[in-house]
Amino acid sequence: MSLHEFNQIPTSQQQKSIVYMSRESVPVATCLRRLANWCLSNGVDISEEGQKLQSDFKKKISVAYRDFFREVIESIYVCGFVPWYEGICDGIKVPKVLPLGSYVWRVEAQADMTGRKQDAEEERARKRYKRDMYVYRISILHGEVKEEAVNIINYVPPRLNAPISPMQGLFFKYLTLQAATQMMHEISQFNSKKHVLFTEKINFNELGTTSGIALLDEFRQYTLTGKFSERDSTRFRTRTGQVLSNVNDANHFWVQDQFNDADFIRHILPPNMEATEMQQIVIDDYFLQQSGWFDHAVHMFFDLPYSITTQSTRRDRMTNQETRVLSEEQYTNIRCLCDFLQSVGEATYVKLYTCKDCTFYLQARPRLSIDSADDVKKLVECGVFSVKDNVKIRDLFFQK
């Protein structure tokens, strides 16, 4: 699908294509999973009105919210908002994200912004809470959940005539990569077979005449039909007097006459043919270039370092390790994402359990990563670890 074709299809189909990319594209799916692991690897800590939750209830609700936050991360990058509804899991109320693909979304103007007359209660509510001019609306395609039961939490502010998804620009690069992949597949099929070009040179001495209008007529006749004229004086004949149309017929008759009893298939080229074998088409550099550009765009969009090293030599090991460590800005973005998830958790918990106050805390994975024993050695030499930490590290390396 080209960019022009993508702009011509309905919005619902465009959204479906972007959802497909978020699941099918390996770099996109990997970055979404890495973000979830960075934010949720240490679990979810919840307290209600300053008090810790009961152990049994805390265990159930923490697991439910961890799964909920994973779907929230995918939803905010695909749609720009979080559509959630109330569900039941293990006998407790939990928030559920409306599955991608079960709905389509759009941006509409708020009803109160269109000049509709408001009553006194709505006027007081409008003064207490500032309402946005535009809102997200959804239309459910599958399932038994009603649209009235779905609550929406914004991540990207809604705007009219804006991209339908935060990843729309990334999707255009994905289309280019898909076109390159399709081209690579077609060229591979083409190169798997031998291709030979044949060119024909007309020998004027075989046309039966040498000059004048007769030569022009013979040339036209041979070019259009591949045969000579029907004049008996210029026709080829066999030894038995049989009329032949051209030199190729004569060659074919001779082979048939000499090998009449043999069981084989005869393929004879037309006269005066030259065969040239075509070379293979090579676009490996173009495909690798498009793949590299897409991977770079994905990691720039999610603001994450590459997770896989491309060099294996010891000389480049340190440089590759540095590119895999989160920078200060990247780790700040991880913390901002954790803050948003905390606000989503608090908003959903208060609505589900009608409590006055609750606090969610997500402790992101540390920015510093330990990839080898050399990293541990450097940290020990710097005096970062305590005696208890040294014992834990020793048990970690020597445990059975």
* pLDDT at position 342: 93
Rounded Cα distance between 399 and 155, Å, is: 44
What pLDDT is recorded for position 35?
92
What pLDDT score does 317 carry? 45
Same-domain pairing of 206 and 317: no
Co-location of 202 and 222 in the same domain: yes
C-alpha distances in Å from residue 291, one per residue of 31, 184, 258, 378? 16, 12, 59, 37
Task: Give the DSSP H/E element, type plus range, for residue 388.
Answer: helix 387-398
Contact 98, 106 (CB under 8 A): no
Q: What is the mean pLDDT of the chain?
A: 78
Residue 95 has a pLDDT of 92
| Same domain membership, residue 10 and residue 80 | yes
Measured at the CA of 174, the angle between CA 169 and CA 177, to 5 degrees, comes to: 140
pLDDT > 90: percent of the chain = 24
pLDDT, position 131: 63
* DSSP type of residue 235: -
- Per the model's pLDDT, the better-predicted residue between 71 and 199 turns out to be 71
pLDDT in tens, 67-80: 999 999 999 999 99
Q: Could you tell me what percent of the chain has a pLDDT over 70?
A: 67
For residues 47 and 53, the answer to whether their CB atoms sit within 8 Å is yes
Same domain, 295 and 267: no
Single out the residue in 226, 259, 277 at which a domain terminates: 277
Q: What tokens appear for 254 in the block? A: 């001779």
**CA–CA gap between residue 19 and residue 79 (Å, rounded):** 9
Tell whether the model's pLDDT for residue 289 goes beyond 70.
yes
Q: Are residues 166 and 245 in the same domain?
A: no
Would you state the pLDDT for residue 280? 86
pLDDT digits over 292-327, tens only?
899 999 999 998 888 654 434 334 444 444 455 677
Mean pLDDT confidence for 208-217? 58
Q: Report the sign of the C-alpha dihedral through residues 330, 336, 340, 346, in that order.
A: positive
Domain contains 191 = no
Answer whether 49's CB lies under 8 Å from 355's CB.
Answer: yes
Where among 277, 304, 321 does a domain terminate?
Answer: 277
Q: State residue 11's pLDDT score.
A: 84
Average pLDDT over residues 1-15: 74
Terminal CA-to-CA distance of the chain, rounded, Å? 53
The reply to whether 168 falls in a domain is yes
Range of the domain at 81: 3-185+285-369
pLDDT for 272: 61
Nearest C-alpha neighbor of 176 from the set 301, 304, 21: 21
The CA distance from 266 to 263, in Å, is 10
Q: What is the pLDDT of residues 89-106, one digit of tens each?
A: 888 899 999 999 899 999
Q: Which of 16-30, 204-218, 376-390 has the lowest mean pLDDT?
A: 204-218
Is residue 190 situated within a structural domain? no
Residue 214 has pLDDT above 80, yes or no: no
324 within some domain: yes
Q: Mean pLDDT check: name the lowest of 18-32, 57-71, 73-87, 238-252.
A: 238-252
Give the pLDDT band (50/70/90) at residue 381. confident
Per the structure block, which two tokens stand in for 95? 């928030």
Assess whether 294 and 273 both reside in one domain: no
107 with 167, same domain: the answer is yes
Quick: pLDDT tens for 122-163: 555 555 545 678 889 999 988 888 888 999 999 999 888 888
CA 81, 84, 89, 91 dihedral sign is positive
Total tally of structural domains belonging to the chain: 3
Q: How many CB atoms lie within 10 A of CB 291?
A: 15
Nearest to 393 by CA among 100, 25, 301, 385: 385
Distance CA 400, CA 396 (A): 9
Domain end, chosen from 211, 245, 277, is at 277
In a domain, 351, yes or no: yes
Q: Are residues 325 and 176 in the same domain?
A: yes
pLDDT at 74: 94
Question: Nearest to residue 73, comparing CAs of 24, 25, 32, 28?
Answer: 32
The pLDDT score that the predictor gives to residue 322 is 47
Residue 388: inside a domain, yes or no?
yes
- 315 and 214 co-located in one domain: no
Distance CA 96, CA 86 (A): 6
Structure tokens at 124: 């007081």
DSSP state of 98: P
Q: Which residues pair with 134 in a beta bridge?
A: 109
Q: How far apart are alpha carbons 396 and 360 in whole angstroms? A: 30
- For the stretch 259-277, pLDDT in tens is 676 666 666 666 566 778 8
Per-residue pLDDT tens over the stretch 149-198: 999 999 999 888 888 899 998 999 999 999 899 999 998 888 888 777 77
Model pLDDT, residue 30: 92
235 domain-assigned: yes
Nearest to 308 by CA among 328, 287, 292: 292
One domain, residues 144 and 158: yes
Residues 43 and 60 in one domain: yes
Q: Which of 190, 192, 182 is nearest to 287 (CA)?
A: 182
Locate 185 and state its tokens.
């597949």
Q: Are residues 162 and 25 in the same domain?
A: yes
Residue 167 lies in a domain: yes
pLDDT for the residue 376: 72
